[in-house]
Chains A and B, each alone.
Chain A
Amino acid sequence: MAKNQIGVVEVEGLQDLITILSDEGYEVIGPTVADNAVVYEPIDSVDDLPKGYEDEQDGGKYRLIESGSKALFRTVVGPQTWKRYLYPPEQTLWKARKEKQGFSIEENDGVEPQYAFIGVRACEMAAIAIQDKVFDNGDFADPGYLARRNNAFLVAVNCTRAGGTCFCASMETGPKVKEGSDLALTEMTKGGHRFVVEAQSERGKEILKRLKASPITDGDKKQASKEIKAAAASMGRKMIGDADTVLAANLEHSRWNNVAERCLNCANCTMVCPTCFCSTMEDVTSLDGSEAERVRKWDSCFTVDFSYIHGGPIRRDAASRYRQWITHKLTHWKEQFGTSGCTGCGRCITWCPVGIDITEEARAIRDSQGG
C-alpha cells in the first residue's frame, strides 16, 4: 500500500483528527457513554470516547463494565445507529401555506448538516451502504439523505473484540472494513496504545497527510490483522447461509406462531436496526390553519396499523408481523436491493426484551422445514 494510504498514530493523533475535522466544518459525532449505554453524540475530544469500557451483550441484555484498560473502542455497538443522523427519526419534509386560492408548498432549503462519524463499525458501514440503495432506489432518490450522506466523513473502526451478539463474520460484512470509509482505524494496545489508520478515499488521504502518522511496521500489520481475525473467530452466533431461501419456502411454518407467543411487538428491533427504514407521514397544521407541514417519522412494521387498508390491517396477527420483519430482512431485501438487509450487528437480539434471536429463528425453521 502506498505510503500516504496507511500509517500509525497515537492517541494524540486521534485527537488531532477530531480537531482537524471540526475545524473543517464537520460536526463530529462519536460514541460516548450516557445512561449506561454507548450512544452516538457530538464529541470534541478523545476524552468523550468510552475509554476503558466493554459491553456485555446477550439476548435481551446489555451492560457496560469498566475494564480499567486505556482502550477507547472496546465496546462494540449500542442501541443507536448512524441512521439517527443520516436518516433522522423525525424530519419536516416541506411546509405548506394557505393562500387565497388553495395553498403553496415551501421546500426545504436543501442545506444539510456535514457530519463526521468517528467509530463506524464494519457492520455499520455495510448498513450505510445498504441504506444508500434504499434512498436512491433507481427510480426515486431522497435528496436530503443523499446530501447528508455525501457530506459525511466516515472514520471507521475495525473491531478487535466481538460483542456478545455479533455475527457479522457469518454475514460477510465484517469485522474488517475493507472499503467505503474515508479512514479506517484499528486500535491496538499491546506494545503501546496506538491506531493503524488506513485511508480508503481521496478525502481520507488528504486528512491522513495532516496527521503526521508514522509508517506502519510489518509487525503492526500482522498484529492488527491477527486481532481482527480473532474477533471474527470469537463470534458466538452465525446466520445460516441459506436464510433467504429457507424463509421463503416456509411462510406458513408453525414457528411463526411460536415466535408470536414471545414477541411483544414492542418494535425495539426495528428502532435499533441500522438498516430498517420504514417511515410514516404525519400532516400537521398550525392552530389557525394558515400553515401545514409534512413530517416523516420512523415507523415499524410491528405496529398493527402499519398494514391498514380500509376495513382493517392486513397483518392482524403478531405472527404475520414478525414474519414480515424477518422475511423482509433476510429474503425480500435481496430481491429489492441485491443484498441481505442484515449486517450481523446483533442489536435486535440485544435489545429485544425477550431475547428473540434472528439467527436462532432462521436456524429453527431450517432445521424443521415443512413444520
Chain B
Amino acid sequence: MVKIEGLDKLLAEHPFFKDLDAPIRELIAGCAANEVFKAGDFIYREGEEMDKFYVIRRGRVALDVHVPGKDPLVIETLQEGDILGWAWLIPPYKAAFDARAEQLVRAISLDAGCLRKKCEDDHMVGYEMYKRFLPVVAERLKAARMQLSDLYGNPKGK
C-alpha cells in the first residue's frame, strides 16, 4: 500500500487541491488510496451509493447512460486531471451514470464516508471541499448544456 505521504504529494501536485492548507490536505490524504482499473472495468454504476470520488491520474473514463436495447450512450469522457464523481456530496449519494474505464486507468480515490465525517467535524475542511467542487459541477453543467445546443449547426430534424 502506498504510504500516505506519497499520496499527499500527488494530491498537492493536482490543480484541484492547489492552495489547500497543508494540514487540511494531509487530513484529506488520510482518506486517500491508490486505485488501478483495467480497460472495461466499471468504476461505479448508476444507482450505486458513491462511497468514493476519484482524481484521475491517467487513462480515460467514459460516463455512460444505459439505454435498453441499444449500445450505452457515452455522454462525456474524463481524462487525466479530471475529477470523477460528486454524488458523494449530495444525499442520497447515488451515482447518476455508469463510469467505465475505457483504457487502463490509474486514479487516487478518496473515501467518501471518511471525508464526509472530516467535513462534519471540521467545517473548514467542508468549506474547502465545497469551494472546489462547485466550479467542477458548474463547468460540467455548462458543457452539458453546450452539448445539448446545436453547436455544429446540424440541420433540423437530423
List chain A positions with a Cβ less than 8 A from chain B. 310-311
Contacts and interface: CB of A to CB of B under 8 A. Distances in A.
A362 to B, nearest CB: 36
- Dominant secondary structure at the B interface: loop
Interface residues of B, number: 3
Interface string B130-158: 00000000000000000000000101100
Nearest to B156: A311
Nearest to A309: B153
A311 B154 CA distance: 9
Contacts of A311: 153, 155-156
B151 to A, nearest CB: 12
A316 to B, nearest CB: 15
A307 to B, nearest CB: 16
Interface in B99-158: 153, 155-156
A311 B150 CA distance: 11
Contacts of B155: 310-311
A331 B156 CA distance: 36
Contacts of B156: 311
A311 B155 CA distance: 7
5 contacts: A310-B153, A310-B155, A311-B153, A311-B155, A311-B156
Contacts of B153: 310-311
A187 to B, nearest CB: 60
Contacts of A310: 153, 155
Nearest to B150: A311
A310 B155 CA distance: 7
A96 B155 CA distance: 31
B74 to A, nearest CB: 27
